[in-house]
Structure 1
């Protein structure tokens, strides 16, 4: 397991033991108490099974022979664009050409971007000229197409359906890849069972304001927490569309169906990443490669952030229904939504049970105090994963300060994200094409 594994497993085990002991004292071993409460709390705690498992993840490595087979793979990077900040798009394209493992083809599809100030088409003339010129100088096949606005999936399949590559890389136009992202992301494909690889996505504009810092507190423990634990089991359920790699035959095999998904008769263009991941998971293993790093711009304004979260939550709700319908009963994908909704029900029932039971009402103060302490402990355990991402632009002092603020992320989940999630579940059919980008939403800083 090693020192890194112990960093996650030992605190988790200690917290479980401490929680169990105190729960038993508060319930089973106290006169006239309800022993069922201890069961409820312990079940809720066990729903965080992924916390110790995620520390077992290691980046995929290859032998010399395997590396030769990986080097032989023909790779196409596909970048859909819609109302993107020109500077962010330029930084994205620059990172593509800076890759240590050169790809064979790059395809950009502009899905009918519009300058909302004038109503005229947003053409990206300077970025297009740079893209075609740089690709030609490097000997990379490149295309830049502009299509009528139909949504991200149509922009993707406009070029991928007939592309003869072995591996497709999906890359968001507001994201910047580390120079070794493609080289590292291809390594898991040395295993023929692997059908998709999720890159490690971290916020680029983390220092912009309090919201982007809070987003990092929520984002990194997920990408290096739950997704890492799923990868240990070979069952990543949602790749981030920011950076993901797929066996090309998986994508081509669903051309014509993927872009026409509907829910309750409404075209479904959001959650393209989870749909492609589901296709891959039905055919083989889906993994995460933490050494394939991509930096992305996250919302820096509250309304944009809430719209993005609502879009993701609605899309995930729809995808849960697909998993329950199409994934095998023995698979993690089937049980993840069951666990998610069980957790949600327990979170709603526990306060009701406390208020409805006279014995528990008398202990409400002790239970609340215990809950707050345990919640802080759990948030700190989750946020240990912040230290699993090493950045040259981030000092250890900054990481420690972010870690110390972890309970704020828990409070945000409880007071903002949980009610928003309930609303998203109740309105999951209200889905759109790009969702958050009716105009340029986040602008790149000069440093990007």
Structure 2
């Protein structure tokens, strides 16, 4: 049987004024061969430190050696992520996928009208047409006047365009209750085979749906994470930094988890679920609470956990979605704090509900081990007499090692190419890797500790008190 490729070039559909189109081409080649040098590096590094601890007994002492060894082994996902390949299907499997009924659900709250229209245009422009699109406005309000924020023009256009294309469409406005209630307003009773969740500040590549459905040819797969990349990458230094920080998760850790069939957090920006998984938990999902406080954040990780309990959860790197990321510091930090608090709660859920043998159970352990090691390193230096007088060399060694590891992680920037950025810009982004690593260590890690200590302070939309990110002309 002919096998349909999963790595065909993809192009964003017409996105509206000021929103650039882009083409993503997943780099071809043998993933295993690409992973071998990284795997050899991990094994070699670990063996070197193990020999130091057991045979050579160098002057740094065993305490610091254990820290280095553990730190490096916790980066197990670095070589594994290169083994990821987009799912492909045979002709007969494609026929089954073509028969799936797909509903796209778009929750809206205080969204820029132009961005919202671009989002919906990209849904209508899909090469694989969906059967239904549901927009739910969760009581949007004008952040200045407090008056209802209505999208009359966008709603009229949306319903008219859907009618022309023969796509079922609904647009409802509900009282403000949070993203999960907006999602389940229509999904609980929908008869689709697959639900696609899409954030209203995002634009789909024109083949995103077609590619995102391919993994469902495997009946074990219960959810599929799309590849999310920043749309407004060139706005300022913050959006560029955010892009570099996205890489270790979207093209690194998530890819490695996908190789194991155990993606733990789909991005709510674009994710696909077998509809039965979502319907099964209707009425519970939207009522999740933590310490008696309703929890509307981290909807994506909750749905992913439901799916993982039912079967495999994977990532499809050829299902591309472009999203607007924060371009101002106050928006960025509020978003990060919301994500971190939600992730802390989800870690507790994984430890409680996931099997001991599962990756989901051990990922929080690994995360907390990273935090402990970061705090342990200076303690080891202080209590080890041989090390107390070597602050300078140790700091230099740590700096060199940190830069090397950050560059190793950011090699994933070159695993996908986009035509709306030049090679020189891509190299510049790669050069920012140590800066991103320093930002993660000095800013995001302390913020994460604060988020863990205040994880019960959870809200509904969190960063949508008003329209946060608008559209600026392409640069």
Residue 81 in 1 paired to residue 108 in 2? yes
- The residue that corresponds to 1:233 in the other structure is 260
Structure 1 residue 446: Cα displacement: 4.1
Superposed CA deviations along residues 152-188 of structure 1, whole A, max 9, x for unmatched, are: 0000000000000000000000000000000000000
RMSD (Å), alpha carbons: 1.8
Report the Cα distance in structure 2 between the residues aligned to 1:310 and 1:135, rounded to whole angstroms.
37
Match of 1:129 in 2: 156
Does the CA contact (< 8 Å) of 2:335 and 2:463 recur in 1? yes
Task: Report the Cα offset of residue 364 of structure 1.
Answer: 2.5
Structure 1 residues 152 and 124: alpha-carbon distance in aligned structure 2, compared to 1, 3 A threshold: same
Distance change >3 Å, CA 260–CA 31, structure 1 → 2: closer
Q: For 2:168 and 2:352, how far apart are their aligned partners in 1?
A: 40
Measured in 2, the distance between the counterparts of 1:28 and 1:420 equals: 40
The answer on whether the counterparts of 2:38 and 2:78 sit within 8 Å (CA) in structure 1 is no
* Post-superposition offset of 1:7: 4.0
Q: 2:298 aligns with which of 262, 271, 274?
A: 271
In structure 1, which of residues 132, 146, 159 is the aligned counterpart of residue 186 of structure 2? 159
Runs (5+) with no aligned partner, structure 2: 1-27
Match of 1:304 in 2: 331
1:258 — aligned with what?
A: 285
Offset from partner CA, 1:105-139 (integer Å, 9 cap, x none)? 00000000001222211111111111001000000
Change (3 A) 1:2 1:119: closer
1:283 alignment counterpart: 310
Residue from 170, 176, 197 that aligns with 1:149: 176
**1:7-86 alignment to 2 at 5 Å?**
7-11=34-38, 13-14=40-41, 17=44, 21=48, 29=56, 33-86=60-113
Residue aligned with 1:168, SS: strand
Query: Which residue in the other structure is 2:16 paired with?
Result: none
Please give the alpha-carbon distance, in whole angstroms, between the structure 2 residues aligned to 1:349 and 1:249.
Answer: 45
Q: Structure 1 stretch 145-154 or stretch 6-15: which is displaced more?
A: 6-15
Q: List aligned pairs for 1:417-436, cutoff 5 A.
A: 417-436=444-463
1:93 aligns with 2:114: no
Q: CA deviation at 1:409?
A: 0.5
Give the superposition deviation at 1:27.
11
Q: Deviations over 1:83-108 (max 9, x none)?
A: 00011101000000000000000000
Q: Is the 8 A contact 2:194 2:272 kept in 1?
A: yes
1:30–1:252 distance in 2 versus 1, CA, 3 Å: closer
Residue deviations 1:359-399 (CA, integer Å, cap 9, x gap): 11123322221111111110000000001122121122211
Decide which of 249, 269, 281 is 1:242's aligned counterpart.
Answer: 269
TM-score with structure 2 length normalisation?
0.91
The separation in 1 between residues aligned to 2:216 and 2:122, in whole angstroms, is 22
Structure 1 counterpart of 2:219: 192
**Distance in 1 separating the partners of 2:357 and 2:57:** 39
The superposition leaves residues 334-363 of structure 1 with CA deviations (integer Å, 9 ceiling, x where unpaired) of: 000011101111110111110122111123
User: 1:214 aligns to what SS in structure 2?
Assistant: helix
1:408-419 alignment, distance < 5 Å = 408-419=435-446
CA, structure 1 residues 208+232, in 2 after alignment: closer, same or farther (shift >3 Å)? same
Q: Deviations over 1:16-52 (max 9, x none)?
A: 6357647966997466642132122111101000000
Over residues 222-250 of structure 1, what are the superposed CA-to-partner deviations in whole Å (9 max), with x where a residue is unaligned?
10100000000000000000000000000
> Quick one: distance in 1 between partners of 2:429 and 2:343?
28
2:319 counterpart of 1:314: no
- Paired residue for 2:10? none
* Structure 1 residue aligned with 2:25: none
2: CA distance, partners of 1:280 / 1:125: 36
In the alignment, is the contact (CA less than 8 A) between 1:314 and 1:425 conserved in 2?
Answer: yes
* 1:119 aligned residue: 146
**Does the 8 Å contact 2:42/2:73 carry over to 1?**
no
In structure 1, runs of 5+ residues without a counterpart are none
